[in-house]
Structure formats: C-alpha cells, structure tokens
Structure 1
Amino acid sequence: MKKIILVLIFTFSAFTAALAQRFAYVDSDYILKHMPEYASSQKQLAALSESWQKDVDGRFQEIERLYKAYQADQVLMTPEQRKRREQEIVDKEKAAKDYQRQIFGPDGDLAKKSNALIKPIQDKVSKAVQAIAESENLDMIFDKNSEVIMLYANPRYNKSDAVITRLGLKPGVLAR
C-alpha cells in the first residue's frame, strides 16, 4: 500500500513538474537582421568572397589560355615539347583546384573568416537569449529557424524583440 501511494505521489509530482515547464522561441534571422555588425560582416564576407572568386577565375582563365595555345602549337611541337606543355597545363590546373579548395572548401579561408566574424555575434545573441531565459524563468527557448520543427508557435512566446532590446537595439528598426 505504501508503495502504491509513493508511486502515485511521484507520478503526480512528475506530472505537475512537466506542466510547470515554460517555453519560448526566438527568430534568429529576425534578430540578426536587427544587428548592424551582422550586416557589416555579411558585406565584408561577400566582398572577400567576390575578390577570391575573381582570383580563382583568373587562374582558370590562364589555364584555358595555355590550353588553347597548346592546341594551336601542337602540330609544330616535338613529342617532348608536347609532353612538357601538357604537364605544365596539368600542374597549373591542379594548383588552381588546390587554391580553390583552400579558399572555398569546408575548412577553407572563407569558412574560417566567416567563423571569425560571425561567432562573436552568435555568442552575443546567445548570452542575450540566456539572460532573457533566466530573467523570465523560462525552461527552454527554441529557435524558430533551426531544424527543430515548429508546427505552431503562439506569438506571445516569441522573445525575439526582448533579445533585440537586451542587445541594446530597437525592435522593428532593421539594420542596413
């Protein structure tokens, strides 16, 4: 009998605790659009990416030029000259692909620069979200834009404007 009562008490307390949990969500895209430093870092990354892409394109255009010159001169070359020119083109193409991977690969320079610029902003937002959660006694805050599927979210639980205010920005005024 005591065991049944204890089980009922634990079940009831667990059920009550589950009902007492408080949830909220934020829209990280909305928050980031309000942050001037995020817009600035995006512009900086776009300019850097464009510059590096021009460099990569230039390398491949040089290879294309060498290949066309090789095709035009091929009939006049000795087998040794052809082999040397072919190897030169292959080496330059390999170097260009390696450079492209070094810049744009998953661990490339662009990814590193993006991480260096964006991580401090993400940390700042994360600290603001944590402060909101603690000050409003929330148990969990979801990101509306993450892979967690939210089929419905009541707008009263949206804490995005509170995070923007906590960051010292004005909600509704988007950064440019």
Structure 2
Amino acid sequence: MHMNKLSFFFCLLACLCFGQYSWAQKFGYVDTEFILTKIPEYQEAQSEINKLSETWQKEIAESYKDIQAKYDELQAEEVLLTAEMKEERLKEIQRKEEEVKAYHKKVFGFEGMFFLKKKELIKPVQDKVFEAVSKVAKEKRLQVIFDKSGTLVMIYTDPIHDYTDYVLEELGLGDPNDTVE
C-alpha cells in the first residue's frame, strides 16, 4: 500500500511537471505559400522556371512528333522495303526514341536540369523566408512554428497563432495599412 502511494505521488509529480512544461510551450504557424506569393523575386523565379519548362516540353514534344512521323513514313513505305531495310529504319527510329527519352529524363528526371534550375532560383528566396521565420520565432519566443501550406493538416487554427504577417513585415513586404499587434 505504501508503494502504491509513492508510485501515485511520482506519477502525479511527473504529470504536473510535464503539464506545466507543455503549457509553457508556445506554438504558431505561418503560410509560406502565401508569403512566397508576396515576394517579387519568387514571382520572377517562377516565371523563368515556367518559361524554361515550356521550352523543354515543346522541344521534347516536337522530337516525339518527328519520331511518330518517321513511324508513319515507315508504315506507308513498308511494302516497298526489304526486310533488312525495314529493320534498319526501325532500329534508327528506336534509337532516336531512346535519345529523346534520355533527354526527357535528363531535363525532367530526379535532379534533372529542371530540378536544378528550380533549386538555383527558388532556394535563395526560401532561405530568406526561413531566416525571417526564425527571427520572428525568436522575437515572439515561439518553440515551434508550423507551415500550414505544406503537408501539415490543420482542421482548425486560431488566427491569434498566425505569424504570417510578422514574417511579411520582417521581409519588408507587410501591408502598410495593416497593423500587427
């Protein structure tokens, strides 16, 4: 019985200590997607990335269109060709198709040219936002800031914990008519 009271006392003490510690933690959230839309450098980077992507996509689509035309041409002339000629032309078309697939992978594949260009243009802006978030977190004495635009799902958020405006203000992008309290 004495051991039960002692165990209960330590459990109660642990709960109280943990409870006080968890209440002392301060959380907030920001919407980085919204913040990024307010940064001109991000808009410029996105525009450049979109133009590059469209250019590469058109180039690849044109290559596939040429390959399809060669397949159609082969099919139309098939009756006039010997087996060796047909095989040779088919191999040439397949080789070109493999080249286009390799180029597509080089451009749009994992760590391809598109990925690297996007990283090159957007990472500096993301770093700038991260620095502003860190500064706001330290100033507001927050232990954790969530990004509600990412994979974090929040069913309800109290706007009092939204620090997006503070980060925009820190980046010099705040609305002059909006007052942050």
**Do they superpose with TM above 0.5?**
yes
Note if contact 1:23-1:141 (Cα within 8 Å) is conserved in structure 2. Answer: yes
CA distance in 1 between counterparts of 2:151 and 2:69 reads 46
Structure 2 match to 1:121: 125
Structure 2 match to 1:66: 70
Letter in 2 for 1:168: G
CA distance in 2 between counterparts of 1:116 and 1:157 reads 32
Structure 2 match to 1:149: 153
Describe the SS at the equivalent of 1:25: strand
Note if contact 1:23-1:138 (Cα within 8 Å) is conserved in structure 2. Answer: yes
Aligned residues: 173
For residue 142 of structure 2, the aligned residue among 138, 142, 146 is 138
TM-score normalised by the chain length of structure 2? 0.88
Note if contact 1:56-1:100 (Cα within 8 Å) is conserved in structure 2. Answer: yes
User: Is 2:54 the partner of 1:50?
Assistant: yes
Post-superposition offset of 1:6: 6.0
Unaligned runs of 5+ in 2: none
Note if contact 1:59-1:96 (Cα within 8 Å) is conserved in structure 2. Answer: yes
User: Is 2:149 the partner of 1:161?
Assistant: no
What CA deviation, in whole Å up to 9, does each residue of 1:78-116 have, x standing for no partner? 111111101001111111111111111122111111111
CA distance in 2 between counterparts of 1:83 and 1:94 reads 16
What CA deviation, in whole Å up to 9, does each residue of 1:111-139 have, x standing for no partner? 11111111111111111111100011011
Letter in 1 for 2:121: L
Structure 1 match to 2:80: 76
Post-superposition offset of 1:8: 4.5
Note if contact 1:34-1:171 (Cα within 8 Å) is conserved in structure 2. Answer: no
Q: Highest relative contact order (Cα 8 Å, sep 6+), 1 or 2?
A: 1
CA distance in 2 between counterparts of 1:102 and 1:118 reads 20
